Amino acid sequence: MSAARDMLCDTARAVFAEAAGAGMAPVEQAGFDLLLVAESEGGFGGDWGDVHAVLRLAGELAPDLPVAELILSGLGEAPEALHAAAAVSLMAGSMGQALALSIEHVNTRQQFGRPLGKFQAVQQSLAVMACEVAAVDAAAAALAARLDATGLDAEACDFEIAAAKLRANRAVGVVTAIAHQVHGAIGFTREYDLHRVTIPLMRRRSQHGNDALWAARLGRQVAALGGRGLWEALTARA
Amino acid sequence: MQGFALFPFDPPGDVAALRADLRAWLADHQPQGRIVGRSNCWANFNPDFSRALGAAGYIGMTLPRRYGGGERHPLERYVVIEELLAAGAPVGAHWIADRQTGPLILRYGSEEQRERYLPGIARGEVYACIGLSEPGAGSDLASVRTSARHTAEGWRINGQKIWTTGAHLSHIMLALVRTEEGSERNAGLSQLLIDLDTPGVTIRPIIDMAGNHDFNEVFFDDVLVPHGALVGERGQGWRQVTAELGLERSGPERYLSSHALLEALVDAAGSEPDPAVARLIGELTAEMWTLRQLSMSTAAKLAAGEDPMVEASVVKELGNAFEQDMPRRVQAVVDCGWDDPDDLARLLRTLLIASPSFSLRGGTREVIRGIIARGLGLR
């Protein structure tokens, strides 16, 4: 990661930590609406790799706030597909946080005389969850690379946006279910922080295209390519 | 928490030309025959094809030229093997020698071993099998009991290996054996390179549930091999095998074994697919695209000299799940009879029966999840 992005992430982390209690004001003051605006127009001149890094942190720390909408407002009328792409980064962050909370909980909480994390059944569940989180992270990062390679041309990225949002949507069920299962009753309380990421994950699965919408869109696209054409398209796109 | 960082996949040279050359070569050389041979194709032995592929420079690509290799970048090799797998080419004969035995001999082997075996491997003529599992040691590899005693004439081997894929078609076995009498668990193990035509080696077939002869029992009855058969350091077998498994787990074969079925599904669906079939194609494509990103990133990390043990396990876990899921989901959605003669039905039948083995070979699902859990800090 570049030094500029490291600094951006440090700022974002601090801003979102504050915003988690205070709402959007600190985010607006920090000027995230200028993230995608060109430097020549007084903006930050960031790329989608920057957006992904910032939104991943937002998904982790302040998943309820309209941070993506604020960032995309810098583009004027951003196409709906870019909102879907933004949702993937937010979901990656929320899932990473759900996993971090789960690991911390099972390493701390003792039952039958040892930490829950020492039980194989719990370990195997969390391994499944970690794989889903890794898949969504990889999808979001690969989509970001493709968006930057095409200059944020949503139409040129239709394949990757569909694949990444669909993959993220499909991970939501597994990730939220396992996170809540290993937490037990405490994870179901208002007091504990798990719902702060799991409810936004459930909501985002419906927003900007549910599974059926993206699956049908991607499936029709692939059918038009034909069997061998799928592989040729996949390898030509990087 | 820190996410899965995508490692940039950036092979040197003209990758598009590498793909185009190989696709043109395959158009001339890939055997046409039964469609089912294109699924699970890295279990499909075809020595004629392997020799031709070797002569064309597509085997042993990363080995030094002085051993017959191509001195190519590991990611160029990755591009070549993903093309071969996506095409369903019969790469089984040389697969293990090219993927792990060759690199391991280069890394740990003696100069004599390198000169003796690597050129033949790169020509696609010398095939290898892996001697790990035993009747009392499968997932619990440290329970290996096959012994090799150091004598004046050489190593004397007694014991038995089991589930050895391709032993009956291979020239050499890289075996994990106990060289230190009285040693326990993962101490006292060494790797020996055994010529399978040595007197005292007996290979017996085990026929699998699909009726195929892929794996074998291999018996060692007072087998004498030279002192020079030891690979690497005496007593360091465990460490060497663990390194080998990293090469084995993250490759594109973990998600492309069933690619022929996805292609057949897409072709059968036509350009105006039924809505349920279109959604299934979309879901399978999204998963495959994601797996390809994970696998390429892990390969790039390996090529950069890192040891991405956990990432490799993630690729294997997700890849196995995808490949086992695909035939079941196709069967649930597509109207096609069990005995139908068309390509889709044949592939479906073959993969439904073959796929239980996917999460057994190369480390069971439970072992792989255990490795991931350790990576999460749970064990």
d(CA B84, CA B106): 24
Complex ipTM, two decimals? 0.97
Query: What value does the CA radius of gyration of chain A take, rounded to a whole number of Å?
Result: 19
* Contact across the interface for B266 and A145, Cβ inside 8 Å: no
Active-site residue, B366 included? no
Instruction: Report the residue from B266, B372, B378 with minimal CB separation from A131.
Output: B372
Reply yes or no on whether the pLDDT at A127 is more than 50. yes
Q: List chain A residues with CB under 8 Å of B273.
A: 219-220, 223
Instruction: Provide the 10 A C-beta neighbour count for residue A158.
Output: 14
* Average confidence score pLDDT of chain A: 97
Reply yes or no on whether the pLDDT at A181 is more than 80. yes
pLDDT digits (tens, 9 = 90+) for B338-376: 999 999 999 999 999 999 999 998 889 999 999 999 999
Reply yes or no on whether the pLDDT at B87 is more than 70. yes
Reply yes or no on whether the pLDDT at B1 is more than 50. no
pLDDT digits (tens, 9 = 90+) for B199-240: 999 999 999 999 999 999 999 999 999 999 999 999 999 999
* Contact across the interface for A223 and B262, Cβ inside 8 Å: no
pLDDT value at residue B346:
94
Q: Among residues B125, B244, B248, B253, which one is catalytic? A: B248
pLDDT band at A195 (very low <50, low <70, confident <90, very high): very high
Superfamily of domain A3-236: Butyryl-CoA Dehydrogenase, subunit A, domain 3 (1.20.140.10)
Reply yes or no on whether the pLDDT at A233 is more than 80. yes
pLDDT digits (tens, 9 = 90+) for A146-178: 999 999 999 999 999 999 999 999 999 999 999
Q: Which two tokens stand for residue B132?
A: 């790990």
pLDDT value at residue A39:
95
pLDDT value at residue B345:
94
Distance of residue A10 Cα from the nearest chain B Cα, in angstroms: 13
pLDDT value at residue B10:
93
Sorted by where each starts, the structural domains of chain B and their CATH numbers stand as 15-126 (1.10.540.10), 130-236 (2.40.110.10), 250-375 (1.20.140.10)
pLDDT band at A63 (very low <50, low <70, confident <90, very high): very high
d(CA B336, CA B339): 9
* Average confidence score pLDDT of chain B: 94
Distance of residue B290 Cα from the nearest chain A Cα, in angstroms: 6
Q: Which H, E and C letters describe chain B, residue by residue? A: CCCCCCCCCCCCCCHHHHHHHHHHHHHHHCCCCCHHHHCCHHHCCCHHHHHHHHHCCCCCCCCCHHHCCCCCCHHHHHHHHHHHHHHCCCCHHHHHHHHHHHHHHHHHCCHHHHHHHHHHHHCCCCCEEEECCECCECCCHHHCCCEEEECCCCEEEEEEEECCCCHHHCCEEEEEEECCCCCCCCCCEEEEEEECCCCCEEEEEEECCCCCEEEEEEEEEEEEECHHHEECCCCEHHHHHHHHHHHHHCCCHHHHCCHHHHHHHHHHHCCCCCHHHHHHHHHHHHHHHHHHHHHHHHHHHHHCCCCCHHHHHHHHHHHHHHHHHHHHHHHHHCCCCCCCCCHHHHHHHHHHHHHHHHHCCCCCHHHHHHHHHHHCCCC
* Contact across the interface for A222 and B266, Cβ inside 8 Å: yes
Distance of residue B203 Cα from the nearest chain A Cα, in angstroms: 37
Q: Which two tokens stand for residue B293?
A: 């990103």
pLDDT digits (tens, 9 = 90+) for B238-292: 999 987 776 678 789 999 988 999 999 999 999 999 999 999 999 999 999 999 9
pLDDT value at residue B247:
66
Instruction: Report yes or no: B89 at the A interface, CB cutoff 8 Å.
Output: no
pLDDT digits (tens, 9 = 90+) for B136-172: 888 888 899 999 999 999 999 999 999 999 999 999 9
Query: Range with the lowest mean pLDDT among A30-44, A220-234, B86-100, B239-253?
Result: B239-253
Instruction: Report the residue from B262, B275, B318 with minimal CB separation from A216.
Output: B275
Percent of chain A residues past pLDDT 90, beyond the cut: 97
pLDDT value at residue B249:
80
Reply yes or no on whether the pLDDT at A139 is more than 90. yes
pLDDT band at B2 (very low <50, low <70, confident <90, very high): low
Tell me the residues of chain B between 90 and 109 that have a Cβ less than 8 Å away from chain A: none
Query: What value does the CA radius of gyration of chain B take, rounded to a whole number of Å?
Result: 21
Instruction: Report yes or no: B379 at the A interface, CB cutoff 8 Å.
Output: yes
Reply yes or no on whether the pLDDT at A238 is more than 90. no
User: CA B156 → CA B38, B136, B149, B161, B223, distances in Å?
Assistant: 41, 21, 5, 15, 5
Instruction: Provide the 10 A C-beta neighbour count for residue B185.
Output: 12
Reply yes or no on whether the pLDDT at B19 is more than 70. yes
Count chain A–chain B contacts defined by CB atoms under 8 A.
178
